[in-house]
Amino acid sequence: MDLKRSNRKKKKHPILKSMLFLALLLVIGTGIWGWHNRRNIRLAINQMGVAHLTRQDFSKTEEKVKNSTDYRVPDAKEDKLLSNIPSAKQYNSKTGQWEPVMAWDSWPVTTPDGTVANYHGYRLTMALTAVGNRSNDIGSKIGLYAQKISDKNTDASSWIYLGNVFSSFGEGKASSKDDCLNQAIGEWSGTTTQMNKSDNTLRMFYTNRYGTNKPGQALTTAKIEIDPKVGDDWKSGLVINHSKASDHKTVFAGDGKYYQTVDQIQFKGDSADSYALRDPHFVADGGKYYLAFEGNTGTETGYQGKNNFSNAKYFGSSSFFKKDVNRLNKKGNETEYNRTYLANATLGKLELNSDFTVKKIMKPMLTANASSDEMERPNLFEYKGKWYLFTCFWGNKMVTNNNYYLGKTYMFGYVSDNGINGTYKPLNGNGLVMQSSFKMNDPRYPYAWLVVKPSKIVNNRFVITSFEGNRTFSPSFMVEINGHSTKMVTNEVLDQGALETTGKTYSATAQPAE
């Protein structure tokens, strides 16, 4: 009898083991499904309220430019507007010669809300500079230029070059253990703010190009001092007080989850990531400090890869999405497919503490997954209760099979009706603000567009600054902003580097739609 019971128990063991194994598989499967599902939920939440520069939106650009001059740049033929800045020279002790300083990406010193500042009777502009020729990767320095507000002359000669903002990389370093700043090899674009009108200091944010083995980029800040040249006499001119540079430190170099880091760079076939973590733009709102910047999406905000081909929001309408994905998967479109796979440009945002360290990493304002791997120079400001976001980029950075866009540059814009942290919607229907068809070998070639909020806004007009021929300030353009629409002023331009719309103008015509 005991033997029979024993045999029955032994026969049940395989069944019990099978049941336990199935239960284990169920638990594991549920866990994997749950993890994957939770991750998808997180991604969906992180993308709520995020605007997208879609492939369909960009595909409408050619037609809009050809049908209206509202989106074209003005073209002025004045030779005077090709001038270098006469004072922009540095002495070469080896040759005994004064050598010209070339300027490209520039930005004005502003108040915390983004308005052009009056710095003790001067307008100030900073620009990326190099002696002799433009130098992108290594050795670029940020230079400072001043223009007396009282002077009636506002042409290129009115800008006085004051020299490099920092005499050496990392000048005024807050910590000797700042790895990014310790590897600095170049200074790239940023923003500069007059935090206190009564003192001699400016708060500066810029891009530290660091590392020789990889294209490291880090959002960086410093406090600098600009003093009167003679005693307390501001009319005597300005001088950079290098001994007072301080609080020079790295703010943000990516977190990997919200924004891609340099270590996450990928390759796909014949294409490579166009990595970015640069162009910081500071703005204050309601006592809070924010820093907008150009970057790439991280793993928790819609990463690059196959994800780009499964989200219709990146493409536009459902029908456009299906048609475009089918086309990209066909033989012969491998390069465009690879570029679409890697495209994940974004305009991100941080909330800062009062000491300009990171308080909160915020989700992107705008992404260009599947559309572009680069959107440059974000600018963010409030006007008439709405917040405006602008960016510029090269046409050849857009992932498209339409050769019309090659060799052209663009500015796109977005607007939020519900505050700085609201949802941004494309201006003019698809985001297009301006197209430029100037060729790179044209001495008038402009780029690095930046919408500037003048100290006095007249007729809803704002200034657009840029460089000219990688060497000097371009004539400034004007754009009219009305709610959810914009219109380029094409019949006139301002002086080179002008920051106000009320200065001298020169006749122009709208550039032809090529």
- Divide the 514 residues of the chain into consecutive groups of 10 and give the mean pLDDT of each group: 46 62 63 58 76 97 98 96 97 93 98 98 98 86 98 96 98 97 97 97 98 92 98 98 98 97 94 95 97 97 94 96 97 95 98 98 98 97 98 97 96 98 98 97 96 97 97 98 98 98 97 90
What is the structure's pLDDT at 405? 96
The DSSP call for residue 287 is: T
Q: What are the phi and psi torsion angles at 207 (to 5°)?
A: -100, 120
Q: What is the pLDDT of residue 27?
A: 59
Of 105, 187, 468, 495, the catalytic one is 105
**pTM over 0.75, yes/no:** yes
Q: Is 30 part of any domain?
A: no
Contacts of 121 (CB under 8 A, 6+ apart): 148, 149, 150, 234, 235
Determine, yes or no, domain membership for 74.
yes
Give the whole-angstrom CA distance, residue 325 versus residue 318. Answer: 11
Active site residue 492: no
**63 is annotated as contributing to ligand binding:** no
Q: Is 375 annotated as a binding residue?
A: yes
* pLDDT recorded at residue 488: 98
Catalytic residue, from 70, 155, 376, 495: name it.
376
By C-alpha distance, which of 161, 165, 203, 206 is closest to 187? 206
Distance of CA 242 to the CA centre of its chain: 28
Is 376 an annotated catalytic residue?
Answer: yes
Given this model, what pLDDT does residue 514 score? 79
344 is in an annotated binding site: yes
pLDDT at 214: 84
Long-range Cβ contact pairs of 178-184 (< 8 A, separation 24 or more): 178/249, 178/250, 179/250, 180/208, 180/210, 180/216, 180/218, 180/220, 180/250, 180/253, 181/208, 181/210, 181/218, 181/220, 181/248, 181/249, 181/250, 183/210, 183/211, 183/212, 183/216, 184/208, 184/209, 184/210
Residue at 26 is within a domain = no
In the chain, the number of structural domains is: 1
Strands 288-296 and 278-285: antiparallel
Per-residue CA distances from 403 to 74, 307, 329, 406, 431 (Å): 23, 26, 20, 5, 20
Q: Which domain holds residue 269?
A: 52-510
CATH number at residue 385: 2.115.10.20
Map residue 364 onto helix, strand or coil.
strand
210 domain-assigned: yes
pLDDT, residue 138, reads 77
pLDDT of residue 466: 98
Q: Is residue 133 part of a domain?
A: yes
For residue 37, what pLDDT is reported?
Answer: 60
Q: Is 273 annotated as a binding residue?
A: yes
Tokens of 241: 């007080």
Q: Quick one: pLDDT at residue 213?
A: 85
**355 in helix, strand or coil?**
coil
Residue 33, C-beta contacts closer than 8 angstroms, at least 6 positions apart = none
Residue 5 within a domain? no
Determine whether the annotation assigns residue 278 to a binding site. yes
pLDDT of residue 5: 45
Asked if the structure places residue 22 within a domain, the reply is no
Q: Say whether 279 counts as a known binding-site residue.
A: yes
Cβ of 398: how many Cβ atoms within 10 Å?
26
Beta strand 141-148 with 122-131 is: antiparallel
Count of C-beta atoms within a 10 Å radius of residue 211:
16
Q: Quick one: pLDDT at residue 195?
A: 98
* Domain assignment of residue 68, yes or no: yes
Give Dmax (Cα) for the chain.
116
Reported as type and span, the H/E element at residue 184 is strand 184-193
What pLDDT, on a 0 to 100 scale, did the predictor assign at position 9?
45
Residues 6+ apart with CB under 8 A from 411: 390, 391, 392, 433, 434, 449, 451, 464
Q: Is-contact 229 162, C-beta < 8 A?
A: no
Residue 319: what are its φ and ψ, rounded to 5°? -70, -40
Kindly state the tokens that stand for 8.
Answer: 């029955």
**Distance between CA atoms of 262 and 213, rounded to whole angstroms?**
11
